[in-house]
Amino acid sequence: MFSFQPQEYTLKQTEETFRSVPSSKTFTNSFSAIEEAKEGQFMDSMRVQNNNNPFEESMRQANLRDKVSSEAALLEPCPPFLQQQQHSKQDSCNSVSSIDTTFSHRLRRFNSSSSVGSQQSAGTFNGLPLSPTTTSGMLKKVAKFALQPGVKLLKNEDTAKLMSSPTDSTFFIDVRPFTEFNSGHVTNSINLNIPSTLLKRPNFTLQKCLGNITFGDNVRLTNFLESHEIPHKRIVFYEQYEIINGEVPLTLYGCLNKFINDESCDAELCVVESGFQSFGSQYPEFVDNARVSTSSSQQTELKPPPHGRSLSLANIPSTLSVSPNLARFHLPKIPQTPVFKIRHNEEFYDFDNYKVLNEFKFLSLAMNHSTSDKTPKWLTNLFEHSSKLSLIEKFKSLEIEERNRINAMISSDGVGSGIELGFKNRYKDIFPYEHSRVKLASTPTHESHDYINANFVSAPNVSKMKYIATQAPLESTAKDFAKLCHDNRVELIITLTSQFENGVEKCYPYWDDINFDLLETYKSDEIVIRRLKSNPYNEDILQIQILNWSDLDVLLNSQQDDVLKLIYLKSMILERLHKTNDNVIVHCSAGCGRTGTFCTLDSIINEQFVTNESSIEGYNVFDPVFETVEAFRNQRISMVQNLRQYLFIYDCLLNYYENFNGFSNEVFHLLDNLEILVHFFQKESTTVLATKKLSISC
């Protein structure tokens, strides 16, 4: 406990304190959170201690504040004497700005008044409670989520009734961090605290969550969920603090979603409205290892963590009868040979989940052997001799081949420039293979190196199309990108990402910096066409960008029209330029997932295939999708990045052959005479004519 001495602060020092805060809003927001937490009690306490202190007036002025905006920083500095309240540990650990769940549209920035207003804690400061986890000079704001519809809120009295008449029909789950669970929890409850990074993954199912708890708890909960003898199942969740305005932290929201989205869960889901701290104080008889009390003298003092570390297992009082049970966490075994892991390979698909096929309208119909007469023979034969399992197994084999290929490369020290010059890579696990890497004639930023994260890719056994697949430029590599266009005489760039996605930059806006002059722009709802002039090469380049294709995602139903428009525009422009088989630069953010998907679609749509009937009889069915992706992956890492993108290719092909075969639809031909394209072709014609005249005169 420290004493507060306001007389030590002069008005000049107060003004210096305000100036020291990085943002003009930040200090005001910190006052906002504190005052709303205790409804002005802190101000009254200060007035009693020193009625004539000029600092009081500054505090009163700070009371006239704006409400916290949605752009407020998640982490805001706060002077030491204002450290009264801090969010619970699970809130601080799980501060996020977005979540990819069924109810993601319900996300909204949580006002500080509801994030700290109900907290009670061990220590006191000038008569006000102080959180036992207050260990730094920061006041945190966290994102909270509206409680899902159908989840019932329980008062303390209702929870106590369930505890006093125990039956097998009620199951309690504690979503707080393990340290808090171990210091006190509702009798017979289990701890289910999953990291926020896992809760945000749609494919991290309830079964995978249960794999992260102790074996005994896993068995108990699994038996409860699978039992058919319990007439009315009820699962009660609780976290540390009270739920205000129907808004809950990510730990609770995410866990509830896992149960809501699991088909095996038929239990009623409930939440203790007042939180564990309030319930444990009111009904200590229903708490094991309880250390919850409204009196600070009864609290077990938390020792400072050693070596300056933040609050962790080191802060668990040594008198606890229950030791931390971390037996379910194991360090990975060291492999005999080096293993290179790619993040998306382990996170974003599950080969045991065939329900992903239901997302794709045309593919689902084809898997039921319902193809139309418009579908080409090779594609009809493919689905007649394929099953859901076979398509998924094909992609699985591609993943296994790639893993073995990368591990062999790592073990043979054949990593090349992609890792040596990793500071030029947008993502640390996406680097170019050395054998197909595009080498610059001379790199402007580092003259001794020819490196750029780009590969030549093609599938010569399937198509004549050629591409340069590359990552979206960084600000530091935009000059290299312009050199890439110049060295390879590229006149068309296909951009498959927006500049920002979910507040994260996915592509530096190279089209509007010193390396390119922006001459003209055409913009529709989802497609942008830009006419650029590269500097210092004075070369006209056309860029086509699609805006609605998110990272690691696919386009469904009517959204597929935008991809098909892109393919049509590419073919039409190259044909007008008489460069049908020349290289085109294609990039998304990493230059592999959406890039590989687009290049595969473009390669197949622009080719006419003759089916080999003998191969069909031997059930070795011709599949250009598999062959193309396999060829691309031998030239650049992770081309077509996940299972959904792989299945999307089949779905989009079926849509194209059914509704847009040959691009005969009027919607495509409306693009032929766009003014920006007319200007681009006129400029090209003038340039070609001038070049011919120059060669004749020489």
pLDDT at residue 446 tops 70 = no
91-100, 124-133, 308-317, 455-464: range with highest mean pLDDT: 455-464
Q: Per residue in 273-313, pLDDT tens? A: 999 999 999 999 999 874 444 443 344 444 444 444 344 44
Element (DSSP H or E) covering residue 258: helix 250-260
Burial code of 278-293, b = ≥16 C-beta within 10 A, e = fewer?
A: bbbbebeebbeebbbb
Quote the pLDDT of residue 678. Answer: 92
Question: Which SS3 state, helix, strand or coil, does residue 46 take?
Answer: helix
Residue in the block written with tokens 């239901």: 358
pLDDT at residue 115 tops 70 = no
How does strand 466-470 pair with strand 584-587? parallel
Quote the pLDDT of residue 477. Answer: 93
What is the DSSP annotation of 185-245? EETT-EE----HHHHT-TTS-HHHHHTTS-HHHHHHHHHHHH-SS-SS-EEEEE-SS--BT
Lowest mean pLDDT among 342-356, 476-490, 529-543: 342-356
Residue 82, token pair as written in the block: 């204002």
Q: What is the DSSP letter of 698?
A: -
Quote the pLDDT of residue 674. Answer: 92
Q: What is the DSSP letter of 117?
A: T
SS3 string of 426-440? CCCCCCCCCCCECCC
Query: Torsion angle, CA of 214/217/220/224, rounded to 10 degrees?
Result: -110
Residues annotated as catalytic (active site), given as ranges? 588
- Mean pLDDT (the chain, rounded): 74
Residue in the block written with tokens 């691009």: 663
Please name each of the domains of the chain with its CATH number.
Answer: 1-82 (no CATH), 86-297 (3.40.250.10), 348-670 (3.90.190.10)
Quote the pLDDT of residue 687. Answer: 57
CA 117 to chain centre: 30
Q: Confirm if 643 and 392 have CB atoms less than 8 A apart.
A: yes
**Residue 12: which pLDDT band, with cuts at 50, 70 and 90?**
very low
Quote the pLDDT of residue 558. Answer: 78
Averaged pLDDT, 192-210: 87
Q: Confirm if 571 and 494 have CB atoms less than 8 A apart.
A: no
**Residue 264: which pLDDT band, with cuts at 50, 70 and 90?**
confident
Q: Per residue in 169-196, pLDDT tens? A: 899 999 999 888 988 999 999 999 988 8
Question: Which SS3 state, helix, strand or coil, does residue 183 take?
Answer: helix
Distance between first and last Cα of the chain = 90
